[in-house]
Structure 1
Amino acid sequence: MENYTLEIKPKSKLLDLNLKETWKYRDLLFLFVRRDFVAIYKQTVLGPLWFFIQPILTSLMQLVIFNNIAKIPVDGMPPLVFYLSGNVMWQYFSSCLTLTSNTFRGNAGIFGKVYFPRVITPLSMVISQLLKFGVQLSLFLAVWGYFMIIGGTEVNLIPSWHIVLLPVLIIIMAGLGLGAGMLISALTTKYRDFTFLLTFAVQLMMYATPVIYPLSFVEGKMKQIIMLNPMTGIVETFRYGFTGAGTFSWELLGYSIVFMAVLMFLGTVVFNKVEKTFMDTV
């Protein structure tokens, strides 16, 4: 009787991510990260420069429309710092969500040919976007440092101790994007409508996040609705940590953490259930 070193079988537990096996495939994970990072702008003229161009152009457009024309306040911060801080955080979350939500449909070819822990694919997307986030964060730090040196604004850009919460904010955003992405990816194997709905929903959700306006600008029931958005506490904490202006609340941040944990739970359950049979429906 032959002795086998590897037995391939479906997971029996819905919450079993089999992290030990995922660690064994870490080389594949890093290969996917490299592929995802390099492939984005491989055939473009400007290449990685788009990492800088996108947030800068978006922030400048928002500055003209929402600050100069609509006259929406920015809590006394330099408008470019305000908009850039929101865009850098939002783009990481939205990119993670959009990319991971296409896990099953976008990788059906390779999933049907070779075995590896399926969770590696969405994990690689979250990590590759983290590299992009690091580049854009360096851009924000350069702009923030410039305005902190020249001064001349209503708010002195003096960072508070809350800046140390940045790693926590990144983990929460990654968890939100990964959990929601795995959930939506599982649903799109049967219901393709979610693919079209997601693009529309992400655009709307940005306006329900204090990216182009501070939380202090909103009042009444609308403020309560915006505070239900788990990204609200993350964006406001990020701004408060670097500028000392804006809104910080442990309740908001705690809500984001709980929301992320629940979303990861649901995403994991549905992802593990669907990965066993999705090839029959994709």
Structure 2
Amino acid sequence: MTGHLTKRESEIGSESWDIIIRPSGKTGVGLTAAWKYRELIWMFFKRDFTTFYKQTVLGPVWYLIQPTLTAITYYIVFGKIANLSTDGISPLIFYMSGTIIWNYFSACLTNNSETFSKNSNLFGKVYFPRLVVPLAVAMSSLVAFFIQFTLLLTISFVLWLSQDGIEINFRFVLATPLILLYVATLGVGAGLAISALTVRYRDLVYAVGFVAQLWMYATPVVYSYSQIPERYQWFYHLNPMTTPVQLFRWALFNASPLPLSVCLANVTATLVIMIGGLILFARAEATAMDTV
């Protein structure tokens, strides 16, 4: 009997494992581990993309309907009734450009705010870096952005060909990837922080949509930055979504550029949110399955 156990122990000891999970007192943000699982990120991306279109009637057309109806509504309410200035940009594309940038940020934020609770069954069965899921969400949300961005460009070129006074600047080709990277960093970082907090405080989930809506109206989405009174502009130094919305319009339609101080303050705030989100997420990852 003893000999049998000794042989079995020697067999177990001779096995080689790809990953050995050991407790650690250190808290890492997991970016290196997530990169090693980049193929899994791609698999989750395809899963999210397929799940969205499954059993839908119109499929990707919903991505076109939403920003179009939203832009028309904003045009009626804020353009016609409130008579807010759009800095000389055609109202339809002014509102649509702000909407699609905000939509991408909102998707990264809200879809990642319940990472642990929504994926608890999966997390409890198999090991992989949990950061893989939020990164896949940011990638899948890009699909909606590019569909809506194509619609925006199409409308813009039609207006340009009709000599509607619209001016298109092709620097957006270089600026758009950088703006998207910025928005993804901010949205994922904020989403990671919220998902880490909701492990202990479940009611925060109900506040995410409400806070996101308030955040949108505190961002120059339905109004231009030039319309903000000088005494309130300090607030937009603290709001990191000011920069991508205004820069997107500047890159496409030569809207009013932002002061450098606003851009630097917004970039700093975004980096702080991302680093803080990574740290909170990594700490919550260790005990999340015991709490959720």
- Preserved contact between residue 14 and residue 268 of structure 1 (Cα < 8 Å): no
CA RMSD of aligned residues (A): 1.7
Quickly say closer, same or farther: Cα 1:100–1:40, change in 2 above 3 A: same
**Match in the other structure for 2:185:** 175
CA contact (8 A) 1:160 1:244 kept: no
**Which residue pairs with 2:36 in the alignment?**
24
Provide TM-score, normalisation by structure 2: 0.90
2:229 aligns with one of 201, 219, 234 = 219
In the alignment, which of 121, 130, 134 is matched to residue 142 of structure 2?
A: 130
Separation (CA, whole Å) in 2 of partners of 1:114 and 1:207? 41
CA distance in 1 between counterparts of 2:200 and 2:54 reads: 32
- The structure-2 alpha-carbon separation of the partners of 1:18 and 1:203, relative to structure 1 and needing over 3 Å to count, comes to closer
Deviations, residues 93-116 of structure 1 (Å, cap 9, x unaligned): 011000011101110111011111
Identity rate, percent: 39
CA distance in 2, matches of 1:247, 1:266: 29
Aligned ranges 1:226-245 → 2 under 5 Å: 226-245=236-255
1:140 to 139, 149, 152: 152
SS in 1 for 2:219: coil
User: Does the 8 Å contact 1:163/1:238 carry over to 2?
Assistant: no
Q: Distance in 2 between matches of 1:163 and 1:247?
A: 17
For the residue of structure 2 that corresponds to 1:230, the secondary structure is coil
Distance 1:162 1:135 in 2: 16
Which amino acid is the alignment partner of residue 220 of structure 2?
Answer: P
Contact 1:166 1:238 in 2 (8 A): yes
Shift of residue 10 of structure 1?
4.3
User: Does 2:272 match 1:262?
Assistant: yes
Rounded Cα–Cα distance in structure 2 between residues aligned with 1:15 and 1:116 = 14
Counterpart-to-counterpart distance in 2, 1:157 and 1:125: 34
For 1:223 and 1:148, locate their aligned partners in 2 and report how far apart those are by CA, in whole Å: 32
Match of 2:22 in 1: 9
Q: Is residue 74 of structure 2 the alignment partner of residue 57 of structure 1? A: no
Q: Distance in 2 between matches of 1:11 and 1:95?
A: 33
**Shift of residue 166 of structure 1?**
1.7
Is the CA contact 1:59–1:84 (under 8 Å) kept in the aligned structure 2?
Answer: yes
Are residues 251 and 267 of structure 1, via their aligned partners in 2, closer, same or farther at CA, if it must alter by over 3 Å? same
2:9 corresponds to? none
Which residue is equivalent to 1:194? 204
Q: Which residue of 2 aligns with 1:206?
A: 216
Contact 1:227 1:233 survives alignment (8 Å)? no
1:271 aligns with 2:281: yes
Kindly state the Cα deviation for residue 147 of structure 1 after the two structures are TM-superposed. 1.7
Aligned residues: 279
Q: Note if 1:35 corresponds to 2:67.
A: no
Q: Which runs of 5+ in 2 are unaligned?
A: 1-12
Output one character per residue of 1:77-131: Cα deviation in whole Å (capped at 9) or x when no partner.
1000100100010000011000011101110111011111111011100011012
**TM-score (normalised: structure 1):** 0.93
Closer/same/farther in 2, CA of residues 232 and 94 from structure 1, 3 Å limit: same
- CA distance in 1: counterparts of 2:31 and 2:181, whole angstroms: 20
Structure number, greater radius of gyration: 2
More displaced stretch, 169-178 vs 32-41: 32-41
Distance in 2 (alpha carbons) for counterparts of 1:126 and 1:270:
19
Higher deviation after alignment, 171-180 or 256-265? 256-265
